[in-house]
Amino acid sequence: MSCLGGFRAVTEREVQRLRAVPRKDRGVDYLDCEMAQEECYDVDKSWDAMHRALTGGKLEYGDAGAPGCWVVLGGEVLRGDREGEEDYIIVAKSPEQVRRVDQFLQGLTEAAFRKLYFAIDPVAYGFDLSEDDFDYTWSNLADSRPFWHSAAEKGLWVLFDVDQ
């Protein structure tokens, strides 16, 4: 299981089309082959630590801790939160959520994110916290800023997806 995650900027029309697809068929093949994407940004495996740091250490769906939670698992869960969907996650962020994430990320400093990252419970995370992992996570998050800004300016939805 690779757990590789990424963001895809899409139009509202594409989100509506995805919602019309049966949940069991909402997967990487559909996203890669059937869905028109405006832009994408891969975050590899950094999404886990990213989400935990931005939500007080929890790896849960939901909108608690907005707007930070909307970067990864916050938003409308289109796949992944039901039994039998553990293999693939898709979470949609509305244009308003994207705009707020963009504003949030533009103001997030490395020093502030460092505090959030090193507050993660390593037992819950399943990995030791380290400078290397911090650098990897921070660089993926910081480098995603132009993606979020572009999606916000264009009024696009953002999908986070990850294969488990």
Counting the structural domains of the chain, the total is 1
Structural domain containing residue 109? 5-163
Q: Give the SS3 label for residue 26.
A: coil
Nearest-Å Rg of the Cα atoms of the chain is: 15
- Give the CATH number of the domain where residue 103 resides: 3.40.1760.10
Walk along the chain (164 residues) and give the pLDDT tens digit of each residue. Answer: 358 999 999 999 999 999 999 999 999 999 999 999 999 999 999 999 999 999 999 899 999 889 999 999 999 999 999 999 989 999 999 999 999 999 999 999 999 999 999 999 999 999 999 999 999 999 999 999 999 999 999 999 999 999 97
Take residue 10 and report the two structure tokens written for it.
């899409």
